[in-house]
Amino acid sequence: MSSIRTLLALEWTLWILTGSVWAAQPPNFVVILADDLGYADVGFHGCKDIPTPHLDRLAAGGVRCAAGYVSHSFCSPTRAGLMTGRYQHRYGHEHNPPYAPDDATIGLPPSEMTIADMLSRRGYVTGLIGKWHLGAAPPFHPMRRGFHEFFGFLGGGHRYFPEAWTGTTEYTTPLERNGQPVRETEYLTTALGREASQFVERHAARPFFLYLAFNAPHTPMEAPADVIARFSHIADEKRRIYAAMVSVMDQEIGRVLDTLRRCGVESNTLVWFMSDNGGPTPANTASNQPLRGTKGTVYEGGIRVPFVVSWPGRLPAGKVYPHPVSSLDVAPTLAALAGAEWPADRPADGVNLIPYLTGEQSDPPHATLIWRQNGSLPWAVRLGRYKLVQADAQTAPELYDLEADVSEQNGLSAQRADEVRRAREIFENWQKAMSEPRWQGPKSRRTDARSPARQTRPMSRSAEPRANFPQ
């Protein structure tokens, strides 16, 4: 740990001596990612049965992007796009990587530069708290991808109570701090919030980038019994557990927001919140209403997510931004604000959103957004107000007017053949510039666990651990 602090001090000194430091301290960045959160499961989207006061506070003080998208409908590919600002299809990261600590071929390619790399070179202290899921072998470790500090786990999911963290499988490994296993006593979501708050406290005096990647409310369905009891009004037992998981996450986000204020850096910190994909309703009871589809689909319910950008005094408070924006915009936005150099040979697919969110630029930031899975199908193109969905090889393409039909119920392909043809051409041209998937997703489910879709018993510290759950 002392060597890390020494390195950070040397980087900071070099930055000042080379004259790169701003006249005023550059902005801090906190990017918060929920895991499998439903579009409708936050108060600022009208949720009634799960209070999210701290997320609602964030939305009220910033810009809520009503058409906020992620670049994929499930976990790891979205995170790859988030870290690089580039369609993950460009470098073949289109499936979840299997948990393979000994396989140095499966993960976010080292040839790709992450936003943590760019900000670190700009003099920021960078930290990841939570879930990585971009490769478990040493070459893909967060601390080799631009992060100075890491507390969390490398795989695609984890058990929530520390009694289970004594194994070697993906969901039962001990949490680690900077490459070393640690003993933990708190519920996972609480521990991540604590560590994020402490990161802010340690580094409030210099520019920092905190990537806080919660595991909640991803399966397994586990929450503290006393929190579950607060939701006795919810009839569905699994939904009660889900509500408790979201509630604890909201509480910990509040802890981080309070720490920013207490440390006097709230007004100089941009906070970004979103989910990594739409909710997987059968698995965790997430609600994506009024959107069609769930995690794993290219309908709106799989790719449109709660999406908030807040920067007190710099971005308007309480604004609803209507145009489509993407998780691909995170890295270009942060790089632009920090004055970081973007790699010339790795052009970004995202844009700096700040001029659009402030109203300085009135045109939409993206003419098109594109999704693809499995190297070919399904795929979708958002083109202005229209979206074309090709769900499989057997069905005809489906065109929807999202401004009039956000639920994607009324197909317009027959009436608007020109729009169908135009969107298909855009996809086919885009497809030529993309790569094939570099690996397939995990091919088998672990046999030493019950399916999280069927696990509804509230878990507590005295409950018997059950190892490993599917992604």
pLDDT score of 25: 81
Each residue of 52-94: pLDDT tens digit? Answer: 999 999 999 999 999 999 999 999 999 999 999 999 999 999 9
Tell me whether residue 1 is in a domain.
no
CATH of residue 160's domain is 3.40.720.10
pLDDT score of 51: 98
Tell me whether residue 420 is in a domain.
no
pLDDT score of 24: 66
Distance CA 168, CA 4 (A): 27
Given its phi and psi angles, is residue 278 left (phi above 0), alpha (psi -120 to 50 degrees) or beta? beta
Other Cβ atoms within 10 Å of 45 Cβ, number: 20
The number of angstroms, rounded, from the C-alpha of 322 to the middle of its chain's C-alpha atoms is 20
DSSP lists the bridge partners of residue 128 as: 150, 211
Distance CA 55, CA 32 (A): 11
pLDDT score of 467: 29
Q: Is the dihedral of CA 389, 390, 392, 398 positive or negative?
A: positive
Split into its structural domains, the chain has a count of 1
Residues 6 or more apart whose CB falls under 8 angstroms from that of 397 comprise: 388, 389, 390, 413, 420, 423, 424
Tell me whether residue 294 is in a domain.
yes
Each residue of 339-382: pLDDT tens digit? Answer: 999 999 999 999 999 999 999 999 999 999 999 999 999 999 99
Q: Which residues are catalytic?
A: 75, 133
Quick check: 60 and 76 in contact, CB under 8 A?
no
- Nearest Cα residue to 400 out of 297, 321, 415: 415
Residues 6 or more apart whose CB falls under 8 angstroms from that of 132 comprise: 79, 142, 150, 152, 153, 154, 155, 213
Tell me whether residue 422 is in a domain.
no
Quick check: 54 and 302 in contact, CB under 8 A?
no
Which ranges of the chain have pLDDT less than 50?
1-2, 4-9, 11-23, 444-471
Other Cβ atoms within 10 Å of 20 Cβ, number: 13
Residue 127 belongs to domain spanning: 27-366
Provide the whole-model pTM. 0.91
Tell me whether residue 207 is in a domain.
yes
Distance CA 382, CA 172 (A): 39
